[in-house]
Structure 1
Amino acid sequence: MKARSFLNNQDCSKDGCRSNVAPGSPASRSNCRNSQKPQGNKLQTIAASESTRTELDCNHLRQMARARAQQGDYAHAIEILNSLIESRPSDANDYNNRGLIYFQSGQLVNAIADYNKAIQLNPHLAAAYNNRANYYADRGQLMEAIADYDKALDLNPVHVRAWINQGMTFRDLKLYERAIDNFDFALRLGQLKSYIWAERGRTYHLMGDWNYAVSDYRRALEELPAGRRRQQVETWLADLLSPLQP
């Protein structure tokens, strides 16, 4: 299976992640445990406030785990998510997030186990189906990947990452027209346009529609920042144009 750049779900939680706390903070870990609600006639607003604070503390830890993973510190990121799962073992999002970090760090057996657990806990979590599909595609199980992308899109028809990833998988299957349809729809969602132009351009390139490919590559390069992704598109464009050079 050729290396490919999947678009994984980067959401740290269903509620989003906004601020950080020190990962080793005892308060942040203990507050993530389910708080006991006040008994008797205590004001319900106090209970609601404590519940909100608990969820915010958990989101702080999810943000920290994401930051650690982005820095390549996968072991620390997994440790943080382990503590979240220990305190909230029924939260499918934390299993999905840990599965993503396992996948990024090459621990594929652990990744698929966490994706399956997330889906077991919440069969309506589109992000987990997208991430599990990425696992299947990476393993060359392309039809299984297509099925999971379909499930993600059934649950969330505007899941742009799933549209793009499924398009890449159709391309791997040499179903180029199907891939183009996916990328065209993804573009209408108005997100990740430079990434979509690059992938659609690559598809046109492989189809032999070189004019469309050059156009999409150049659109992508107008917006892509310096980095590995830009270098990849520059290489594709150079490969396409090299036979045409005098």
Structure 2
Amino acid sequence: MANEQYKAKNYENAIRLYSRAIELDQTSPTFYTNRAAALMMLKKPKIALDDCQKALLLDPTSIKALLRGAKCNFTLGNLTEADRWYTKVLNAEPNNKQAISEYQQLQKVQNSINQAEFCLQNGQYAFAASLINNVSSYLDEIPTKWKIMKAETLLEQNEYGEASRIANEILRGDQQNPDAHVLRARILYIEGDNQKAAAHCQEALRCDPDHSKARILLKSQKNAGNEAFKKEDFNKAYEIYTLALEIDPENKNTNSKLYSNRSAVLVKQGKLVEAIKDMDKALELDPAFVKVLKRRADTYMKLEKYSEAVQDLKAALEIDSTNQELRRELHNAERELKKASRKDYYKILGISKYASESDIKKAYRKAALQHHPDKNCGDSEAEVKFKEIGEAYAILSDPVKKQRYDSGVDLDGPNCGMDFDTVDPNLFFQMFMNSDNFSNMGSGGPRGGFPSGFGGGFPSSREFPRQRSSGYHSYGNTFHS
């Protein structure tokens, strides 16, 4: 009854009757191969292939089962498997005309697909698309791989809408297809939606952690960030690097470089503390990243964290011991560290390193008046401060001593300043205030015995008596409150 329905092309009825026959006798391979034939006529090759496999379990030599299974694989696009099944048929029956014809057709399709792949790789996108369209006519169901290939040819020809439709169609049927996710990511990336592109790349790598195209796209994101950095579009570069970091959180090698690049952006933006955090993350992923160690040392120097800078440069030299630039920078950092550990004369006077000679004099006069012992009787802290103020002025008012102090030369030799343990700072102050060399500074003097203006030079340490003061002295009208 099933055979009669098949001949009458009533395939649905035939399938129903073949299924009834199988229920009555599950040991007959013929029932399965016949039902497979009916299923193939209704373009249901996946179910038909399952019947062919069941038939072969019952009779491994069944030519009908092999031939129909080969055809199912062919129409499903399983070309390698189809080749294997046809080969079995031809080994058993070398003159089987159906097998020979279909096998030749299979080889033609396989050659065309190989040629399409070659064209796609070599930029012949239109020809690749034409080949895929031609071979697709042989199949009941176009393989997902071929759909991906076709979408890639459309993408390269700027036909984003159709390429996007194919990608979405695949993903609706299979959310675990990494190729479709990468295809969708490429389209979104071109359209400028970097955030969604990153999400699809991340999903692709979840499905296949070794997916090369997802990693290539990740590299493309990094390159795009580099281009934005070169154009000094730092906001865009930061955004791209941030999105790229989300694509593959487990990729230590790439992410260390991304953190490094993003830290360079933050340095350019003046966000030094944030930049340090990114450098820390880069070095967590790659402790031997010399470039980042050097950049972090440079940033620490800008933040005046000289000890940290020295540590980073020493660590970098342990990795790259022949790098002379690192040695020079380490020497400079160590010198700055020494300088930082001594008294900061600029800070004592409350001025910047770029203060003029006039500014230095004004600052000394103001600070010395504020902390003079006559005005702060019994205040030991004021006495110490008064002494430091005089010491700071003695160095910064002398061009030679100031240059030695600024360059750090004094750190390698004798003290470039005066020995304030052997000089009375009150006498020092009086000589400053009564010097005939001061010109008018326009600020006026204090009430009482101070002159009304300042200017000129400052007596050197040679002019001071070499005596140790047992304390500060009041000099009559030197200070009037």
TM-score by length of 2: 0.30
Deviates more, 1:95-104 or 1:118-127: 118-127
- Alignment partner of 2:158: what SS? coil
Of the three residues 63, 77, 84, the one matched with 2:128 is 77
* Unmatched 5+ stretches in structure 1: 1-33, 213-246
Query: In 1, distance between residues paired with 2:184 and 2:238?
Result: 18
Q: How many angstroms does 1:134 deviate by?
A: 0.9
Structure 1 residues 182 and 121, CA, compared in 2 at 3 Å: closer, same or farther?
closer
Mapped to 1, the partners of 2:135 and 2:199 lie a distance apart of 30
Whether contact under 8 Å (2:198, 2:244) holds in the other structure is no
Contact persistence 1:85–1:95 (CA under 8 A)? no
The residue that corresponds to 1:211 in the other structure is: 291
- What is aligned with 1:159? 211
1-structure distance, mates of 2:212, 2:262: 17
Aligned counterparts of 1:197 and 1:54: Cα–Cα separation in 2: 51
Residue among 29, 35, 60 paired with 2:111? 60
Q: Is the 8 A contact 1:99 1:115 kept in 2?
A: yes
What is the distance in 1 between the residues matched to 2:265 and 2:104? 52
Give the structure 1 partner of residue 145 of structure 2: 93
Find the counterpart in structure 2 of residue 49 from structure 1.
86
Question: What is the letter of the counterpart of residue 69 of structure 1?
Answer: L
Match of 1:142 in 2: 194
Q: Do the aligned residues in 1 keep the contact of 2:178 with 2:205 (CA within 8 Å)?
A: yes
- Mean alpha-carbon deviation: is it higher for 172-181 or for 78-87? 172-181
The letter for the 2-side match of 1:163 is R
Partner residue of 2:170?
118
| Residue range with higher mean Cα deviation, 136-145 or 80-89 | 80-89
The CA deviation string for residues 117-148 of structure 1, in whole angstroms up to 9 with x for no partner, is 23234332211111110110110112221221
SS in 2 for 1:129: helix
Distance 1:56 1:187 in 2: 44
User: 2:182 maps to which residue?
Assistant: 130
Query: Matched residues, percent identical?
Result: 14
Question: Which AA in structure 1 matches 2:215?
Answer: W
Structure 1: how far apart are the matches of 2:247 and 2:175?
A: 24
Asked if the contact 2:194–2:240 (Cα under 8 Å) also holds between the matched residues in 1, the reply is: no
The aligned counterpart of 2:157 is 105
- Structure 1 distance, partners of 2:259, 2:220, is 9
* SS at structure 1 position matched to 2:179: helix
Rate the CA distance shift 1:177–1:150 in 2: closer, same or farther, 3 A.
Answer: closer
Q: Deviations over 1:60-119 (max 9, x none)?
A: 222211222334332211111112333333421111111011111222122112222232
Amino acid at match of 1:108: Y
Q: Distance in 1 between matches of 2:165 and 2:210?
A: 26
2:432 maps to none
Asked if structure 2 preserves the Cα contact closer than 8 Å seen for 1:164 and 1:186, the reply is: no
SS of equivalent to 1:154: helix
- Where does residue 422 of structure 2 map in the other structure? none
The change in CA–CA distance for 1:119 and 1:183 in structure 2 (over 3 A counts) is closer
What SS class does the counterpart of residue 87 from structure 1 fall into? coil
Aligned length: 175
Which deviates further from its counterpart, 106-115 or 119-128? 119-128
2:239 to 148, 151, 174: 174
Q: 1:167 to 1:173 in 2, by over 3 A?
A: farther
**Aligned in 2, Cα 1:49/1:202: closer, same or farther, shift over 3 Å?**
farther
Tell me the equivalent position of 1:10.
none
Cα 1:111–1:181 change in 2 (3 A) is closer
User: Where does the alignment leave 5 or more consecutive residues of structure 2 unmatched?
Assistant: 1-44, 56-60, 71-84, 88-101, 226-236, 268-278, 280-289, 293-481
The answer to whether the 8 A contact 1:93-1:118 is kept is no
Partner-residue secondary structure (3-state), 2:137: helix
